[in-house]
């Protein structure tokens, strides 16, 4: 079967460019689709048919394969040694011999099947392409555009795919608008799924870390290290930092001149407050730092190995606990 394929190849090239699918994958899908369509048209589902691309002739040719046997029992699948040697002089038993299929038309049902097979194969290839594109960006921050806001999730266009941000992964009370550019962190990449392959988040503490890596050169260069982050999205983040260079103040580096660096991050997070404090390997000192701005009198062992007793003056109690227990909760997350 020969099909003039110039227009078809042009269309497939467009698919390759738009969907980031390798040309060879698309051509293999086309060949499989044509072979299946012929088998449906011929009402011979058991025959072995292959399609080949003839670039010189600019055609797609179909061939039927036959196994060489001594005695033919099924002439749709087998060919005698004598007949095989008329096609290929050195043919041997059990060889596969290909014969060109001569046909000029295809039924509407077969053509429809070919289209459906192509669509399915392209969808499968697209999923692989998306997976390969984003699996290496797992836990990384990317820039996306809000495509639509639903009741339970938001769709974010990342360029090569549309990711889903579940409501639980959004910043509470943040009102996103269609067309708005936002930064998200990729939290999950799936190869086999009917829905969105890529899941993203704005509530994950990793987003805060990536934003500081972007805005603070000392963090990106490894001079200042983020040791721990605790976050209540949309409300407050506490972040412990340390410097590997005694001449560099880690807190000052994160805040930036006149608060310029941290302010960019606060704005990106829709006004979320950010407390930055000095890391300390001593758990007692770390707890004191984490509960700032409250002044801590003492930190003692608790009733079990996993608890600590924090002592503060009466006038510092509400400050240590924080609004709705937020300050204490974040300190616990940081030190666990």
Strand ranges inside the chain, DSSP E? 2-4, 48-54, 59-69, 78-80, 96-100, 141-149, 153-157, 162-166, 181-189, 198-201, 224-232, 236-243, 273-278, 296-301, 308-312
What's 2-126's CATH class? alpha beta
Q: Where in the chain is the domain with CATH 3.30.300.20?
A: 283-336
Hey, what CATH topology would domain 138-201 get?
OB fold (Dihydrolipoamide Acetyltransferase, E2P) (2.40.50)
* pLDDT digit string (tens) for the chain, length 336 residues: 445 556 666 767 777 667 667 777 877 887 888 788 878 777 777 888 888 877 777 777 888 899 999 888 888 889 999 889 988 999 899 999 988 887 665 667 666 777 777 778 778 888 888 888 899 999 999 999 999 999 899 999 999 899 999 999 999 989 999 999 999 999 999 987 776 689 999 999 999 999 999 999 999 999 999 999 999 999 999 999 999 999 999 999 999 999 999 999 999 999 999 999 999 888 778 777 777 776 776 666 666 766 667 677 776 677 667 677 666 677 777 676
CA distance 206 to 221: 18
Joined tokens for residue 166 = 């579940």
The DSSP bridge pattern shows strands 236-243 and 273-278 to be parallel
Does pTM top 0.75 for this prediction?
no
Burial 239-275 (b: 16+ CB within 10 A, else e): bbbebeeeeeebeebbbeeeeebbeebbebbbebebb
Strand partners, 308: 301
The single-letter DSSP state of residue 295 is: P
Q: Where in the chain is the domain with CATH 2.40.50.140?
A: 138-201
Please return the burial class of 154, using the count of CB atoms within 10 Å of its CB with bins 0-12, 13-18 and 19+: buried
Hey, what CATH topology would domain 283-336 get?
GMP Synthetase; Chain A, domain 3 (3.30.300)
Residue 56: per-residue pLDDT: 76
Q: Where in the chain is the domain with CATH 3.30.1480.10?
A: 2-126
């Amino acid at each position: 079967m020969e099909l003039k394929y110039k227009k078809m190849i042009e269309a497939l090239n467009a698919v390759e460019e738009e969907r980031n699918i390798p040309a060879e994958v698309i051509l293999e899908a086309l060949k499989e689709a044509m072979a299946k369509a012929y088998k449906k048209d011929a009402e011979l589902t058991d025959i072995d048919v292959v399609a080949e691309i003839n670039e010189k002739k600019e055609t797609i040719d179909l061939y039927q394969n036959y196994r060489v046997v001594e005695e033919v029992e099924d002439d749709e699948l087998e060919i005698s040694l004598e007949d095989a040697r008329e096609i290929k002089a050195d043919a041997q038993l059990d060889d596969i011999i290909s014969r060109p299929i001569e046909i000029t038309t295809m039924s509407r049902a077969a053509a429809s099947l070919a289209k459906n097979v192509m669509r399915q194969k392209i969808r499968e290839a697209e999923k692989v392409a998306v997976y390969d594109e984003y699996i290496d960006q797992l836990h990384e921050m990317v820039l996306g555009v809000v495509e639509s806001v639903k009741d339970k999730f938001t769709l974010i266009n990342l360029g090569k795919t549309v990711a889903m941000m579940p409501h639980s992964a959004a910043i509470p009370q943040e009102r996103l608008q269609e067309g708005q550019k936002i930064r998200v962190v990729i939290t999950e990449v799936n190869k086999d799924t009917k829905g969105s392959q890529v899941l993203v988040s704005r509530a994950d503490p990793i987003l805060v870390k990536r934003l500081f890596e972007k805005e603070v050169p000392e963090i990106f260069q490894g001079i200042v290290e983020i040791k721990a982050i605790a976050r209540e999205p949309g409300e407050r983040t506490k972040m412990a930092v340390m410097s590997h260079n005694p001449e560099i103040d880690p807190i000052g580096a994160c805040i930036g001149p006149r608060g310029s660096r941290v302010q960019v991050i606060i704005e990106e997070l829709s006004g979320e407050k950010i407390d930055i404090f000095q890391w300390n390997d001593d758990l007692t000192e770390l707890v004191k730092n984490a509960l700032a701005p409250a002044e801590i009198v003492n930190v003692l062992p608790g009733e079990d190995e996993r608890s600590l007793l924090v002592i503060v003056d009466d006038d510092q109690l509400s400050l240590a606990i924080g609004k709705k227990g937020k300050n204490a909760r974040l300190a616990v997350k940081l030190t666990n």
